Structure 1
Amino acid sequence: MPYDDSVPPAAQHRVRRLLTAAALASVCLTAGCGGAGDGGGSGPAQPRAGSSGAASSPSASGSASPSKSGPAADESSPAPAKSANGTRSGPLTGRTVVIDPGHNPRNHEHTREIGRQVDIGTTHKECDTTGTSTNSGYAEARFTLDVSHRLRALLQAQGAKVILTYDDDRPFGPCVDERARIGNNAKADAVVSVHADGSAAGNRGFHVILPARVRGGAADTSKIVDPSRDLGTRIAGLFVRATGSAPSNYVGGHTGLDTRSDLGGLNLSTVPKVFIECGNMRDPKDAALLTSAGWRQKAAQGIADGISSYLNG
């Protein structure tokens, strides 16, 4: 799929500094340097073709909590504190995060409905697509829902109000314009659309897709370009730290960041928003990661850490 890798040099420099810091944190974990950084995971993963995002940089130390691996980590998350009236409290109390699980597992049963054109401001595109899958048939839409559920639990444990654009509760969609409206109507502090890529074998790694500066029709990203870059850059750096995965070797010039103007979910957003392509589902090594429950927990942790870093400044 065509992409625009015009990430500004300053942003590339910030990401490289962040990724270097994340790598050093991993080295210190194994060599006993005495820091608080946690290491990433290892192993292959499978991605899907589609979208990505990028933003500005987090602090070198980060706020990532230790990543967990193995099936036992799948359901576990820190228990949030509760206030006197019984509501959850934590560092993200009062913040709203919208998680957008890419595609829908049943989109393939509704090709006519998802094929209809919707207005994305600058042009028209399909309502939604089916997404990709691994060679063994593990659907991207199942992957995105699984990671989104894990991410929701991690953010709720920190006190955030978390909204999913859908939760396997509808036969198809939502369309890309509706996905954007959900975040806008919630006045979300941050929105992350979760995906996996479907590129050629040998293309590996993750990338975060940032909104380009776009204006046309209902689309005007001028107010969200900078905060979205900040959000995306923090997610990119802390995703490396949590998962051990490298930035994409085929999109974004090895920065882990890609800027695009053709995605309705970004063009129509009025709140900070990015996409993350967690890996390439069509590469056997990436696919091995994406199909691992333990790795998916690490992926959710990395995204949660990036969101937390962004919201906590």
Structure 2
Amino acid sequence: MRFPPAQERAGIWTAEAKLLPNRTTDSGSEAWDMPGAYPWGPGVEGCTGSAYPPAVESETRTDGGTRPAEFWIGEVDRDPALQEELLRAVPDRPRYVRARGLLLRGRCRVVLGPEGRRGAGFFIGDPERPGVCQAIHRPVAGLVAGLLHECSTCLQILTDRENAEHFASLLPGWEPRPATVHVHPNPTEVPAPDGDARLIEGAEFGDDEVLSEFAREERADLEFAASRGPVATVWENDRIVSFCWAVYETESWWDLDGATAPAHRRRGHGRSAAALLIAHLLKAGKRPVWSALDANEASRRMALTSGFRAVDRMIVLTPPEGFVRGPGCA
């Protein structure tokens, strides 16, 4: 079953276009049966203006060339009025949990056009976890050029699936990698965690033996997560073997992430860690969002077996090998 053509193009999810659970759409993505729960598009409450504002293209010079659109790059916590303006453009929906979570936190970096030209869209990045910038609406060529020139740490661009063709024309050679956004229809029914599951917060892991099951990068993730908020952990023999944490949080949602030590996978530890954190954050009225690249079959399979259902599609754009980035933004 497919959505009606107009809704397929606009990315609107409504009760009239709902799918049945545990089925597969014509495009191959999992189906869902949460009628009317996640509408996107023009006229939706919580999303000011059109879902896809008209693009503001680069200006034409008198010599026949083009002058890139002006752009501004900075951190929104220094400008509360700008922060509020951008929050109005990013509704509290699962596909925007990363972007809205960053805006609510304030510690984020944005690339956007000048006042009066914000319909061109903008980019949001996390200076604490660089590597991915999320595109909001459809940033024009000048903003894309500004992002790539100024931010050498932007390795990938996350965008709505409806913008795939737009970015393909601006970034030839970049690989569009599809991703699926999942939510749980009844998170209160997630089974209780098994084993020795503990919630930790603000911990400093002075004993390397506690983290010895993980590689250096995963240890850094765990320590960073514990410094930011609660982390659900699963233990064996006085060592952490799996953990789960909320990377970003909005008023209603949180973005689930975590890892399980290689020697302890396929034993349900990741599911137990997730269950513990889901139960904890439900007390604050927040529900989990599980996003995964389609190529990451293990993550998608775990999401589905844990009761999550696909509700949206995104695109992660990856530059070609040998791509030369800008000088970076401090």
TM-score range, shorter chain: under 0.3
- The structure in which a higher percent of residues are helix is 1
TM-score of the aligned structures, taking structure 2 as reference length: 0.24
Rg comparison, structure with higher value:
2
Whose relative contact order is higher, 1 or 2, with alpha carbons under 8 Å and at least 6 apart?
A: 1
TM-score of the aligned structures, taking structure 1 as reference length: 0.25
- The structure in which a higher percent of residues are strand is 2
